[in-house]
Amino acid sequence: MNAKEVVRVENLGVAYEHEVVLRDISFSVRENEIFIIVGGSGSGKTSLMRHMVGLEAPASGKVYIRETDIADAPEESFYRSLKQIGVLFQGSALLGSMTVAENVSLPIFEYANLPASAVASIVQIKLSMVGLECYADHLPSEISGGMKKRAGLARALALNPDILFLDEPSAGLDPVIAAEIDNLILHINQSLGTTIIIVTHDLDSIFALGQRAIMLDKSSKGIIAHGKPADLRDHDPNPVVRRFFSRKPPEA
Amino acid sequence: MQKADHERDMHMNPVSGPQNEYFDLREDAEGTLTVFFRGRLDMPNAGACLRHLTSEVKPRTPRRLAVDLGRVTRMDDYGAMVIMRLMHRLGLTHDRLELKNTSEDHRRTLSMIDFGQPEFDIGPRKSWNFIVQLGDSTIAALRGAAFFTEFIGAIVYSALRVAKRPGSFRINDAIGHMKTTGVDALPVVGLISLLLGLIIAFMSSLQLSQFGANLYVASLVGLAMVSELGPIMTAIIVSGRSGSAYAAEISTMKITEEIDALSVMGFDPNLFLVMPRMIAAMVVVPLLTVFSSIFAIAGGLIIGVTVLDLSPTAYISQTIDSLTLFELTWGLSKSVIFAIIIALTGCLRGFQARGGASAVGNAATSAVVTSIFLIILFDSIFAVIRSFW
What CATH superfamily is the domain B2-110?
STAS domain (3.30.750.24)
CB–CB contact B357 A97 (8 Å): yes
pLDDT digits (tens, 9 = 90+) for B203-221: 999 999 888 888 999 999 9
CA A148 to CA A143: how far, in whole Å? Answer: 7
User: What's the mean pLDDT in A82-104?
Assistant: 90
Radius of gyration of chain A (CA): 18
User: What's the mean pLDDT in B124-141?
Assistant: 85
What are A227's strand-pairing partners? A213
pLDDT at A24 over 50: yes
User: Could you give the C-alpha distances from A123 to A117, A158, A188, A251, B304, in angstroms and in order?
Assistant: 10, 8, 16, 50, 70
% of chain B at pLDDT higher than 70: 94
Q: Is A237 in the B-facing interface, judged by CB distances under 8 Å?
A: no
User: Could you give the C-alpha distances from A179 to A184, B210, B303, in angstroms and in order?
Assistant: 9, 88, 78
CB–CB contact B108 A115 (8 Å): no
pLDDT recorded at residue A64:
92
CB–CB contact B122 A160 (8 Å): no
Backbone angles phi, psi at A10, to 5 degrees: -120, 115
Pick the closest to residue B16 from B8, B25, B3, B7 (CA basis): B25
For domain A5-98+161-246, give the CATH number.
3.40.50.300
User: Could you give the C-alpha distances from B343 to B160, B242, B270, B285, B360, in angstroms and in order?
Assistant: 17, 8, 12, 11, 16
Q: Is A123 in the B-facing interface, judged by CB distances under 8 Å?
A: yes
- From chain B, the residues in CB contact with A140 under 8 A are 356
ipTM given for this complex = 0.83
CB–CB contact B81 A118 (8 Å): yes
Across the interface, of A97, A99, A137, the residue whose CB is closest to B358 is: A97
pLDDT recorded at residue A72:
85
- Residue extents of the structural domains in chain B: 2-110, 132-387
User: What's the mean pLDDT in B251-259?
Assistant: 91
pLDDT recorded at residue A252:
56
What residue type is A140 in one-letter code?
P
Nearest CA in chain A to B46: A114
User: What's the mean pLDDT in B183-198?
Assistant: 96
pTM of the model: 0.77
% of chain B at pLDDT higher than 90: 63
User: Could you give the C-alpha distances from B220 to A171, A208, B179, in angstroms and in order?
Assistant: 68, 82, 32
Cβ-contact B266, B168 below 8 angstroms:
no
Instruction: Write B150-158 long-range contacts (CB < 8 A, 24+).
Output: B151/B344, B151/B347, B151/B348, B151/B351, B152/B344, B154/B270, B155/B270, B155/B274, B155/B275, B155/B278, B155/B344, B157/B270, B158/B268, B158/B270, B158/B271, B158/B274, B158/B275
CB–CB contact B81 A141 (8 Å): no
CB–CB contact B355 A139 (8 Å): yes
Tell me the residue ranges of DSSP E strands in A50-208. 60-65, 68-69, 85-88, 163-167, 195-199
pLDDT at B69 over 60: yes
How many angstroms away from the CA of B189 is the closest CA of chain A? 35
CA B51 to CA B293: how far, in whole Å? Answer: 70
* A–B CB contacts, 8 A cutoff, strictly below: 97
Q: How confident is the model at residue B352 (pLDDT cuts 50, 70, 90)?
A: very high
Q: Name the least confident of A212-216, B10-14, B295-299.
A: B10-14
Mutate which of A80, A92, A114, A139 to disrupt the B interface (most B C-beta within 10 Å)?
A114
- From chain A, the residues in CB contact with B108 under 8 A are 187, 190-191
Nearest CA in chain A to B109: A191
pLDDT recorded at residue B1:
42
CA B279 to CA B52: how far, in whole Å? Answer: 70
How many angstroms away from the CA of A250 is the closest CA of chain B? 32
pLDDT at A84 over 50: yes
User: Could you give the C-alpha distances from B361 to A239, B238, B250, B278, B356, in angstroms and in order?
Assistant: 51, 18, 12, 21, 10
Q: Count the alpha carbons within 13 Å of B282 in the hemisphere toward its beta carbon.
A: 11
pLDDT recorded at residue A249:
79
- Tell me B271's DSSP state: I
- Residue extents of the structural domains in chain A: 5-98+161-246
pLDDT at B11 over 70: no
Burial annotation B271-280 (CB, 10 A radius, 16+ → b, else e):
bbbbbbbbbb
Pick the closest to residue B69 from B97, B106, B33, B44 (CA basis): B106
User: What's the mean pLDDT in A153-166?
Assistant: 93
Length of chain B, please? 389
How many angstroms away from the CA of A67 is the closest CA of chain B? 21
The string of DSSP letters for A151-185 reads HHHHHHTTT--SEEEEESTTTTS-HHHHHHHHHHH
CB atoms within 10 A of CB A245: 22
CB–CB contact B120 A190 (8 Å): no
pLDDT digits (tens, 9 = 90+) for B78-123: 999 999 999 988 888 888 899 999 998 888 888 888 888 888 888 7
Nearest CA in chain A to B89: A117
pLDDT at B299 over 50: yes
CB–CB contact A118 B357 (8 Å): no
User: What's the mean pLDDT in B125-153?
Assistant: 89
Q: Pairing between strand B64-75 and B32-41? A: parallel
CB–CB contact B122 A190 (8 Å): no
Nearest CA in chain A to B49: A114
pLDDT recorded at residue B18:
57
Q: Is A125 in the B-facing interface, judged by CB distances under 8 Å?
A: yes
Nearest CA in chain B to A94: B356
CA A232 to CA A219: how far, in whole Å? Answer: 19
